[in-house]
Structure formats: C-alpha cells, structure tokens
Amino acid sequence: MTAANPDGVPATDPAHSANDLTRWDEPASLAGLVDRASVDQLLALLGDPDPAMRWQAGEALAQTASRLRKHALRASVSPIAASPDYGFTELLARMAAGLSSPDALLRTATADALGLWDHEAAVNLLESALQDADYQVRASVVRALGHIGDPGSLESLTAALADPSVWVRRSAADALGNLRANAAVGPLENALSDPQPLVRSAAASALGHIRSARARAVLERTTRSSDAELRWYAARSLGQIGDRASCAALSELCREEGVLLFGQSTRDVATEAIAATEARDRGLINRLRRVLYALILFVRRARQPATDDPSAA
C-alpha cells in the first residue's frame, strides 16, 4: 500500500513499485468474470490512486458489462437461463453511484470506464453527469461520449462547447469530430472562433473527420483565416478529407512558410495534403471505386420519384 504525503502525492513504496506490473495484471485477470466478488473488486479498483490501475479496471469492467448484457438477453428469451451473481442492471446502478460519488477521482474514472461501453444506458448515465461541478469530470464525460460515438449525443456535446472550462470545450470539439456527423459541422464552425487556441485547433482537426462538402467548405474558408495556426490545422484536415476540389485552397497555403507545428510548416502540410489527395485518384482500385460510386449515385437517382412530371399528381 502507499501512504499519501502532506501534499497529497502518494509516497514512494519500494515494495509497491517492484510489484506494479503484477498489480496491473490484477484487473485483466478479473475481466469478464461475473461473480459478485470479482465485479466488486473491479469497482473498487476504479478508485485506485494509480491511474494505470483505474484504466485497466475500466477496460475489464467493459468486458464484464458486455458479458452481463448477454446474460440478460438470454434470460429474456429463456427464463431457465443461468443467471450470474451480478445483473447488468445492478452494475449500471453501481456505475451511476460512482458518477455521484463525493470523490472526484472516482467520478472521473467511472466516466472513463463507461466510455468503453457500447450501450445506450452508458450514454444516458454519462449525459446525466455533464453538469458535474469538477471540470476534469466533465472533460472525462465528454471524452467518453465521443469515444462511444452515439449520434444522439450531438446536442449534449454541442452544449459542452460553451462550457466555462477550456479543457471541456476542447474535449467537446474532439468528441464531435468522432461522431463524424454532418450536423456537427455548424457547432464546430462556431468553435473556430473560440477565444482559446486549443479549442480552435481541436475544432479544425475535428472537421477533418467529417467527410462532407459542408465540412470541406468550412475548412477551405479557414485556410484564409488571419490565425496562422488555424490555417495549419485546416490544411491538415483538408488532406484527411482528400477532395481534389480543395487543392486550389491548399495551393495558396503552399506559398507561405507559416507557423511550425510538430516539425512541419504550413507550406509542408499543404504540400503533403495535395500530394495525398492526388494519390487517392491514381491507381486501378481508385478508378474502380469512382465508377462504383457513380453507379450507386445513378441507382439512387433512378429510384427517386419524378417530381417534375406534369402527369404526376
């Protein structure tokens, strides 16, 4: 065990340090086990002072939750199906209790753990915690919603873009990009005007995950922004989208050295974006892909009713 010093930092324990790897194996050994002792132990580990232990416990609980869901589904079909000690509903109640704990560390770890679940119930629990008083908890909740990627979280994540904490707003921008929904383009465009550069850059990066004409148009306009750092991120995102229509806007950026981020200038990023976009249009596979998309579009149009037919009434 470790003892906390007066500053709240765990004191170094040589014996504990030597056994760290062994301790980290503990949650993994409990993953998917549905007996009461194992589940209770994993829930307790969510409050461990070691962040690695908390994360491992969260991953293990995600496997346990998945197995409990399967048990619940089988029980709904066959009343004689064997039931584990724990039920999925009971586990949800314990996770809800974790989100309401007076310990902010446990609330944060619980939110992180729920972000590994792929279930509507996890989304509902997370959204109920978006008004937490601790900004770190709110940031974890927002990141978790983005990791799940449920389109129904769009409204909640959009609201989080107005959070007083820059870290929550930045996480909200990242999460909206993970949704890859065209409806997120408008909120992300507004976030490009956030007073904090961390949020603006996150919004520009998020737009690169949304492969739509609307997102591309916003990014092309952003390449003409007075914010040099924002132009850098816009160039990178346009390269991710990879539409040849953006090459003209990218070509303008090839003329400036701009800021240097991650060892690359704006000119370097724009040049690479153009090269990557052009490479996507070469080769037999890409030609076949374009033909396939054209056929799909033709079929869709053929199936649409002829609304301009004067005989149609």
Domains and CATH numbers, the chain: 27-148 (no CATH), 151-209 (1.25.10.10), 211-297 (1.25.10.10)
pTM > 0.85:
no
Question: What is the distance between the alpha carbons of residues 6 and 9, in angstroms, rounded to a whole number?
Answer: 8
Least confident of 55-59, 219-223, 256-260, 275-279: 256-260
| Locus of tokens 């070469």 | 282
Task: Name the pLDDT band for 77 (thresholds 50, 70, 90).
Answer: low
pLDDT for 279 beyond 70? yes
Q: Which of 23-32, 218-227, 249-258 tops mean pLDDT?
A: 218-227
- Where are the alpha helices (H) located in the chain, listed in sequence order? 14-18, 20-30, 36-45, 51-77, 88-99, 104-114, 120-128, 135-148, 154-160, 166-179, 185-191, 197-207, 213-222, 228-241, 247-253, 266-280, 284-303
pLDDT for 125 beyond 50? yes
pLDDT at residue 62, as a whole number: 95
Do β-strands 264-265 and 260-261 pair in parallel, antiparallel, or remain unpaired? antiparallel
Task: Name the pLDDT band for 307 (thresholds 50, 70, 90).
Answer: very low
pLDDT for 223 beyond 70? yes
**CB-neighbour burial class of residue 115 (10 A; exposed 0-12, middle 13-18, buried 19+):** buried
Question: What is the distance between the alpha carbons of residues 242 and 275, in angstroms, rounded to a whole number?
Answer: 9
Task: Name the pLDDT band for 20 (thresholds 50, 70, 90).
Answer: low
pLDDT for 75 beyond 60? yes
Question: What is the distance between the alpha carbons of residues 104 and 139, in angstroms, rounded to a whole number?
Answer: 12
* Terminal-residue alpha carbon distance, the chain: 79
Query: How many CA atoms does the CB half-sphere of 245 hold within 13 Å?
Result: 12
Question: What is the distance between the alpha carbons of residues 186 and 163, in angstroms, rounded to a whole number?
Answer: 17
